Structures are given as C-alpha cells and as structure tokens.
C-alpha cells in the first residue's frame, strides 16, 4: 500500500550535535511514504472510516539508528487537513518539520503533499509520531524505534525479540465530530468506548476476540517491550499477569533498570521494558497470560471510560487451551495516586559513562506556570459546561488560541499581529493553588496567543504548578524541540525557598513529557540551545483543545551552528 522504504548510506562529513562539532560519522537516511487516507475499520461491532497512514492502524513503524535522518513524504488523500509531529525528536534547528498545526506549519490540505525531514540526534530508544491537527492523532500514529549506532549496543543484554505495545483510545463515533461537538457546546467531550493495544480492544470487549493482539514468547528468553501511550485523554496503568517488568528507558533515554509489577504511563510518554519469559511451560496450565491496561484517573468525580484493554502473551511449545481464560494481572485501582507516584519516582536516568547526563546546575530563568482547567463565561448560561459556562484550560491563566498563520512563519518573516510575546514568568496572581473549595471567581480564564521568547543558550527551569480549579488532576506536560530533566516533583504548592533544595541533579530522568502530580508541581530544566518555535502543551487532547498550551521562541545564537536551518521550499500554504 504505497509504502516505500529505501536505505541509503550517506557521508555527512561533519555532523552538528547539540551545537558541538562532532567527529565525522556515517549516518544513514531512510525514506518513507505516508499516504493519509480514510479507511474502514471495525471495532466493537461498529464499522466506521478512520484516518490512517497507508491504511494501517496503528500506522507504520519508523526504524532508524541514533543520529540518522528520516525523510517522510506525506500525501494527503483524505478529506481533512492534517499535519504529522515526530514526538520527542529534538529536530535541532529544524522546527520546519516539527508538525504542530498553526505553530510551525499550516496544515497539509486534502490533495496536497509535504515532505518532513526528521533530524535525529541524541535520542535512542522508543518515540512515536502522530497527527498534530485536531484529534486526528486518535488513529494517525505509530512507533519510532531508534537503535544504538552501529558499533554500539543497548546498555542491557541484547533482547531476543522486540514487542511493540501501542496503547490507544477508540470511539465508535467519528473522533473529529467528538471534539467539534465539545467545542461547539462548551461541554466535556464524550468519553471513549474502548482502549486498545496495537489497535485492538481485546477479548474482554464484545466482538473483539478474533483480533486480540497476541505475542508469542519462548520460555527462558528476554523480550524488549516498546510501550507508547497514544491514548488521547487518560493516563494508563499497564501490567502483565505472572510477570514482572524491568523498565530500562523512557522517552528515548535510558534509565537505571528497575523492576515493577505495573507501570503508569502518561499520554505522550514511551517506556522500554524488559520482559523475562520465565513462567514454566506445562501441559496442565494454559501457558497464556493477559497483558492489560486501564485508566489511572486522578481527578475526582470526572467521568471516564473505565474499561480494560487486553492482549495475550502465549508461550510457544506449551499447550494453549483456549477454552480457559488467561490469568489477568492486578492493576492498581483507577484512583490510586500513591501507586502512580511511587512508580514515577523510580524513573532515574542511567547516568553511566556511556550515557552521561548534563543537568543544568544553575539557571538563568525560572518560569512558574500554573496549570488549570477553567471556565469562560457564557451568555445566559447557554453553554454545555459547568454552570452553563464554556470549559477552558490555561497556562498562567491564558487560554491559548491557535492563530491562522503559523507562529514560525510569522516569526521568520516578521509578520505582526499573529502572536504576542507576553507569556508571563509567573502566575498572574498567587492563591493557595491546590486547596479544596477555591473561590469561584478564580475559575475564569481569558483567551490569548502569547508565547515566550528565550535568548539562545538560556538555562531554563520551568515549574508546572497544578491547581485544584474545577478538577485537580495529573497533567502530562509536553515540550517540543527539547528533552528536559525532571529535577523535582511534589504535592501541594511549590515553595521556591525550600523545594529546590531537594532537586535531583545526579540522575533525574530525561523526558519530553512529564506527569505533573495531581494538586502538585513538577520542575524541569533544559538549556535553550535549539533555536526555533517550540510548542508546549498538556498531552490530554481535551486540555490541549481547551488552550492548555503555549510556545517558546528560542532565538538564534551567534555561531552558524546556532541558527535556524532555512525553510524547505514546499511548506504548506496557510
């Protein structure tokens, strides 16, 4: 189905990495064709057209090695505008191919093409790609697998095989209509009908048995699970019956291995996990185990899809008696914030000689950002949100509105009136952010398109401060163009006098998406050495659509290696 994949070895000469001139290396370029089309899929006894890439759901996997270049030609054969984002790829100096609509490009219109150049640099492990236009990413997504460079190896024993695990969320309704309806009425979007593992809900749902994803394993071997959370609106607990999981990486960065019975993964995050197939294979057991996932829902009283998706691990050479059900794992209960927190606290960078960390010890700027769900007043209480108002969401009480010309183009060409540069360094007013029963007057926000300008090479700390307005909950905050160190997390209000003393500068995890604890805070650090326009937003799509977003403009530095690459000639017109 129109999928071309060619590998060409190229001598790049000198390759610029993180602004430093590295030694000459051989890197390869891979080419892919992505045809966006509307394809009929049946799930839960319900057939509908979904947007796909090359007819596949989930879409094709991109495989490359650390430092390679991947060229993807996107051909839009569907009737919707679309863009594609390479989630977690830093794209040094190349925001042109980053993908968020109206931030770095205008959408690829029906019938049009656009070729993305994905510049891989330091990422190694698992990332993913997804549509970055409306809620198209519900079905337009796939894994990016980044192997060690030739001549280097994983920092753990070579696994026998790899098993991709892409977690998704399924609506029987048309997803574009789900979000369009919510935005029209001002109410909450309809909840989903299922979660999926590799596109399949699994056999606990009606009509789903034949398609259930099954991984065959051999006793005594170790498998590398590459887990991607492509769910739209929920964090997920995931576990496998009868087996423990050893986490070795997250967001394409290695971690100190740690063993756990379950993981908690936010939308946007990835985890690399070793699975030892160590259960006995006998003729008296059925030699099959469920892997299962359901929601971690930190908000109180918010409706959510509480169903469970499953897939199967089956030992080969065993008898598989499919008349008895596989064993189910124990997942923490939906509201188990302690389990989520304890799991997340175990994520530490590997910080080895081969995989060192470079955590900014001092900062030039600390930006404190309140993260809230809000209301916007509706005339005559005529909206579908609480109190007849319109639901909204904000960062520092600004609810981001996407402009009509992309911010990158406006910045590059000095077009005024598209965005403002007034995104504040502090919440506009301080209150007890995480208290119960906050005064109703605080719930309102206003719409704006304000970004934050950073000088090249600024050492930045961002503290995300969750609030308890409307619904305190965990927010998966994602930054484009950078990976950042999560130096601290905590519950309650961030205390600038006390909390930095407990930061981890030794082995904090390097992530592109951080779950900000419910009614708590998270502190991240990065050095602004990637010039461009870089979106930052909550990776819950409902919050994203309600304006829990902003962008950074990182200015050029003085050396030629510190400047934006020129735009490609075929940027989609607005």
Residues found near ligand C2O in the complex (CB under 6 A): 85, 87, 100, 130, 132, 268, 478, 480, 535, 537, 539
Q: How far apart are CB 268 and ligand C2O at their closest, in Å?
A: 5
Q: Which is nearer to ligand C2O, 228 or 528 (CB)?
A: 228
Q: Tokens 């175990």 belong to which residue?
A: 346
Contact 76, 108 (CB under 8 A): yes
Residues 402-421 that bind Cu ion (CB under 5 A): none
| Binding partner of residue 132 among ligand C2O, Cu ion, none, CB cut-off 5 to 8 Å per kind | ligand C2O
Q: Which is nearer to Cu ion, 503 or 546 (CB)?
A: 546
Q: Which is nearer to ligand C2O, 27 or 407 (CB)?
A: 407
Helix, strand or coil, per DSSP, at residue 325:
coil
| Binding partner of residue 100 among ligand C2O, Cu ion, none, CB cut-off 5 to 8 Å per kind | ligand C2O
| Nearest residue to the partner ligand C2O, using Cβ | 87
Q: Which is nearer to Cu ion, 121 or 394 (CB)?
A: 394
Q: Number of helices and strands (H, E) in the chain?
A: 4, 35
Q: Which is nearer to ligand C2O, 130 or 390 (CB)?
A: 130
Told to check if 195 binds Cu ion by CB under 5 A, we report no
Q: How far apart are CB 102 and ligand C2O at their closest, in Å?
A: 12
Q: Which is nearer to ligand C2O, 458 or 550 (CB)?
A: 550
| Binding partner of residue 478 among Cu ion, ligand C2O, none, CB cut-off 5 to 8 Å per kind | ligand C2O
Contact 493, 521 (CB under 8 A): yes
Q: How far apart are CB 138 and ligand C2O at their closest, in Å?
A: 12
Q: Distance (Å, rounded) from C-alpha 475 to C-alpha 99? A: 22
Q: Distance (Å, rounded) from C-alpha 398 to C-alpha 447? A: 6
- 34 forms beta bridges with 74
Q: E-assigned strands of 241-389?
A: 245-250, 253-260, 263-265, 270-276, 288-296, 309-315, 365-376
Q: Which is nearer to Cu ion, 452 or 543 (CB)?
A: 543
Quote the Cα angle for 490-303-296, to 5°: 40
Task: Compute CA distances 63 → 52, 70, 124, 226, 288, whole Å.
Answer: 19, 9, 11, 12, 29
| Binding partner of residue 540 among Cu ion, ligand C2O, none, CB cut-off 5 to 8 Å per kind | Cu ion
Contact 170, 194 (CB under 8 A): yes
Residues 451-480 that bind Cu ion (CB under 5 A): 475
Which of 130, 122, 123, 45 lies closest to 82, judged by CA?
A: 130
Residues 297-326 that bind Cu ion (CB under 5 A): none
Contact 478, 538 (CB under 8 A): yes
| Binding partner of residue 538 among ligand C2O, Cu ion, none, CB cut-off 5 to 8 Å per kind | Cu ion
Contacts of 142 (CB under 8 A, 6+ apart): 53, 56, 58, 59, 60, 61, 62, 128, 129, 130, 166
Helix, strand or coil, per DSSP, at residue 153:
coil
| Binding partner of residue 87 among Cu ion, ligand C2O, none, CB cut-off 5 to 8 Å per kind | ligand C2O
Site size toward Cu ion, by CB under 5 A:
4
Contact 178, 135 (CB under 8 A): yes
| Binding partner of residue 489 among Cu ion, ligand C2O, none, CB cut-off 5 to 8 Å per kind | none
Q: How far apart are CB 274 and ligand C2O at their closest, in Å?
A: 25
| Binding partner of residue 518 among ligand C2O, Cu ion, none, CB cut-off 5 to 8 Å per kind | none
Q: Which is nearer to Cu ion, 70 or 373 (CB)?
A: 373
Residues 517-546 that bind Cu ion (CB under 5 A): 538, 540, 543
Q: How far apart are CB 87 and ligand C2O at their closest, in Å?
A: 4
Q: How far apart are CB 540 and Cu ion at their closest, in Å?
A: 4
Which backbone phi and psi does 561 adopt, to 5 degrees?
-75, 0
Residues 542-571 that bind Cu ion (CB under 5 A): 543
| Binding stretches for Cu ion (CB under 5 A) | 475, 538, 540, 543
């Amino acid at each position: 189905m129109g999928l071309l994949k060619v590998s060409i070895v190229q001598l790049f000469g000198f390759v610029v990495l993180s602004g430093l001139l590295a030694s000459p290396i051989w890197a390869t370029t891979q080419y892919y064709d992505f045809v966006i089309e509307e394809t009929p899929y049946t799930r839960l006894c319900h057939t509908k057209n979904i947007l796909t890439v090359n007819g596949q759901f989930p879409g094709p996997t991109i495989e490359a090695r650390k430092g390679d270049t991947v060229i993807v030609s996107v051909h839009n054969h569907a009737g919707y505008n679309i863009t594609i984002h390479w989630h977690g790829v830093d794209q040094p100096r190349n925001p042109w191919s980053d993908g968020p609509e109206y931030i770095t490009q205008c959408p690829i219109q029906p019938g049009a093409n656009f070729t993305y150049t994905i510049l891989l640099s330091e990422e190694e492990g698992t990332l993913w790609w997804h549509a970055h236009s409306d809620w198209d990413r519900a079905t337009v997504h796939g894994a990016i697998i980044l192997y060690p460079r030739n001549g280097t190896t994983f920092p753990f024993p070579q696994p026998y095989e790899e098993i991709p695990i892409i977690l998704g969320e399924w609506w029987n309704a048309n997803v574009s209509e789900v979000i369009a309806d919510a935005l029209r009425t001002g109410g909450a979007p309809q909840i989903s009908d299922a979660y999926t593992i590799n596109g399949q809900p699994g056999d606990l749902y009606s009509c789903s048995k034949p398609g259930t994803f099954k991984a065959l394993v051999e006793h005594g071997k170790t498998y590398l699970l590459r887990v991607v959370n492509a769910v739209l609106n929920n964090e997920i607990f995931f576990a496998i019956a009868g087996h423990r999981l050893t986490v070795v990486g997250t967001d394409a960065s290695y971690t100190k291995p740690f063993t756990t019975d379950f993981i908690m993964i936010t939308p946007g995050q990835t985890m690399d996990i070793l699975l030892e197939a160590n259960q006995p294979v006998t003729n008296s057991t059925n030699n099959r185990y469920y892997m299962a996932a359901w929601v971690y829902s930190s908000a109180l009283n918010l409706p959510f899809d509480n169903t469970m998706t499953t897939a199967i691990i089956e030992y080969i050479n065993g008898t598989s008696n499919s008349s008895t059900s596989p064993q189910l794992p124990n997942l923490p209960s939906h509201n188990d914030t302690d389990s989520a927190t304890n799991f997340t606290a175990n994520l530490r960078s590997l910080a080895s000689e081969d995989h060192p960390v470079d955590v900014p010890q001092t900062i030039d700027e600390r930006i404190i950002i309140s993260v809230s769900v809000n209301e916007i007043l509706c005339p005559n209480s005529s909206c579908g949100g609480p109190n007849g108002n319109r639901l909204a969401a904000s960062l520092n009480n600004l609810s981001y509105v996407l402009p009509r010309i992309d911010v990158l183009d406006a910045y590059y060409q000095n077009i005024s009136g598209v965005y403002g540069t007034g995104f504040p360094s502090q919440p506009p007013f301080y209150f007890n952010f995480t208290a119960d029963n906050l005064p109703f007057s605080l719930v309102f926000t206003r719409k704006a398109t304000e970004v934050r300008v950073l000088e090249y090479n600024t050492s930045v700390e961002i503290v995300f401060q969750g609030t308890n307005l409307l619904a305190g909950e965990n927010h998966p905050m994602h930054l484009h163009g950078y990976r950042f160190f999560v130096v601290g997390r905590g519950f309650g209000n961030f205390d600038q006098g006390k909390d930095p003393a407990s930061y981890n500068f030794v082995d904090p995890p390097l992530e592109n998406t951080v779950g900000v604890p419910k009614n708590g805070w998270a502190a991240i650090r990065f050095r602004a050495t990637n010039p461009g326009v870089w979106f930052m937003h909550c990776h819950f799509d409902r919050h994203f659509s309600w304006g829990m977003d902003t962008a950074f403009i990182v200015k050029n530095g003085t050396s030629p290696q510190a400047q934006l690459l020129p735009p490609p000639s075929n940027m989609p017109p607005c």
